[in-house]
């Protein structure tokens, strides 16, 4: 799965999560956007987002992950996918 594909799925989750509180379209989101300042996600919302992404991608993301930007979330998902793929190939 490419970074662009992951980004689109993450962007869709953020739009769904923020809903009416922060009207956004996936096309409005950029990798450098700050989760808290730009997207209004507090630590609980980031935790919820990471849990949703774990369910969506069927991966485990470290509970110690503390992404600050949308791009960092994409990288977390990508690394988790790579780890899962490596496990599956053993």
Q: How far is CA 74 from the centre of its chain?
A: 5
Are the beta carbons of 38 and 4 closer than 8 angstroms?
no
| Exposure string over 73-87, b if 16+ CB within 10 A, otherwise e | bbbbbbebeeeeeee
CA dihedral 72, 77, 83, 85 (to 10 degrees): -140
pLDDT attached to residue 72: 96
State CA 43 to chain mean position distance: 13
Query: Which two structure tokens, joined as six digits, stand for 12?
Result: 């869709």
pTM (2 d.p.): 0.86
The mean pLDDT values, 10 residues at a time, for the chain of 90 residues are 90 82 83 93 92 92 92 94 80
Domain of 79, in residue numbers: 3-88
Domain count, the chain: 1
Supply the CATH number for residue 68's domain.
Answer: 1.10.1200.10
């Amino acid at each position: 799965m490419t970074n662009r594909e992951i980004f689109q799925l993450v962007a869709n989750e953020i739009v769904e999560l923020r809903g009416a509180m922060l009207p956004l379209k996936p096309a409005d989101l950029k990798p450098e956007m700050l989760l808290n300042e730009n997207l209004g996600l507090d630590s609980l919302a980031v935790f919820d987002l990471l849990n949703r992404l774990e369910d969506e991608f069927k991966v485990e993301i470290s509970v110690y992950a503390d992404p600050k930007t949308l791009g960092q979330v994409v990288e977390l998902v990508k690394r988790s996918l790579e780890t899962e793929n490596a496990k599956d190939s053993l």
